[in-house]
Amino acid sequence: MFKEIKELSKKEWILILSLFILSELLILTSAGIGSFVPSSIGQRHNVVQNSFLNLFAQYDSESYLDIAKNGYNANYKEIGNYNHYPVYPLLVFLLGFFLSIPLAAFLVSNISFALAIFFLYLLLKKDFSISVSQKTIFLLLFFPTAYFFSMMYVESLILLFIVLFFYFARQKNWFLVGLFGFLASMTKAFGFSLVIPAVYLYLKEKDILEGWNIKWENIKNIDYHCLYVLAIPLGFILFLSYLFYLTGDPFIHFKLHSYYSASLTFPFVSIFHEIGLLQKSIVHGVFQGALYHILNVGLNFLFIFLVFLSFQKMKVEYSLYTASFGIILYMHESLESNLRFFLLFFPVFATLSLLSEKKWVRYLVNTCYIGFVFLLILLVIRHVNYDINYVSIAKQIF
């Protein structure tokens, strides 16, 4: 690791750092603009006392902060806060011994964001050219929902764990592979899917797997390192066990998901559900809702298309991760959170970066990202105010 860091050129340091700072400044500035939105238009919740940090403490952040302050309990909004995983609020709680809980949450998210981008660049350089690696970072940083990396959410932290999982897998450090896989599965349910590429990489490293053929005569090569791989889903299992200890119901986590329209169903049913919501919005003249559903459906179809392309261009372990994660993602009954979960599919962004080497694709992607940056600004302003009806504002202005 230290050798790779030392080998980074000054130009690489400047470019990656500049992209990260520019992304953060865009998000922070947009949040600052959003702070001037009057309460008659926005619906910002007063979650924390500090007016600046409160901008980053909307939606699910409130639940994470409650866990960090009060632990898991049934009193939160009279339904309990059992639907979120423990690693992020635990880190916030520990840092909260030295800082306020809201500041600790903000720092955990943003420091994780910086580290995730840095190690992702190191990982990408192992497989791709410098230009493709840098373009991938750009595409990720300025995706419309990239602002979640700066909010008091877990996206930056779990991306860090996922990236470190693959980074140390390349170095065949199975202890750290197991550790970061374990932490990922205790940060978000999707982390559980890392066990699939981990098993593949382990069997391949032990010369048990060649292509998709098992070399049974080499089964004897299995050693104690397999225990680290098998430890990955234990993070998820331990969380369910803790919920059983607290509530007597290990599946209360999933039951609460139904309250937030995040119940599990058959794969891809959520797409038809979203199309139905789009039709209702059009019929009832809810224009902002219609625009949102069009964006959601469009980006989901684009994402699925890029996932299939990534299977042709990415390493097998990345494809296994993308496929298993994607199946879990589309087993939810709603597409409500998909746009932010796309941020964790770094192989898809790498695929788009590879495709951009073709001139016409590059022009198309660059044009789309001009719109994406504008959309990112609007979404940040909307998020820090909990919700804004842009259509109503436009009608008042024009």
Question: Which residue(s) pair with 42 in the sheet?
Answer: 388
Do 169 and 196 touch, CB atoms closer than 8 A?
no
Distance CA 31, CA 348 (A): 28
Q: b/e per residue, 56-88, with b = 16+ CB within 10 A? A: bbbbbbbbbbbbbeeebeeebeeebbbbbbbbb
> Among residues 212, 216, 189, which one has the least CA distance to residue 200?
212
Sign of CA dihedral 169, 173, 174, 176: negative
Pairing of strands 209-210, 213-214: antiparallel
> Among residues 99, 235, 239, 92, which one has the least CA distance to residue 153?
92
- Residue 258: its pLDDT value, please? 67
- Residue 260: its pLDDT value, please? 61
Q: How many CB atoms lie within 10 A of CB 305?
A: 11
Assign residue 72 a region: left if phi > 0, alpha if psi is -120 to 50, beta otherwise?
beta
- Residue 261: its pLDDT value, please? 58
- Residue 284: its pLDDT value, please? 66
pTM of the complete model:
0.93
Q: What's the average pLDDT block by block, 10 residues per block, for the chain (398 residues)?
A: 79 93 97 88 88 94 95 89 94 96 97 97 94 96 96 97 96 95 93 93 91 87 92 94 92 77 70 80 71 84 91 93 90 81 94 94 94 95 83 58
Distance CA 343, CA 137 (A): 11
CA 309, 313, 316: angle at the middle one, nearest 5?
A: 105
For residue 144, the SS3 value is coil
Distance CA 303, CA 300 (A): 5
- Residue 286: its pLDDT value, please? 65
- Residue 349: its pLDDT value, please? 96
- Residue 140: its pLDDT value, please? 97
Do 333 and 263 touch, CB atoms closer than 8 A?
yes
- Residue 328: its pLDDT value, please? 86
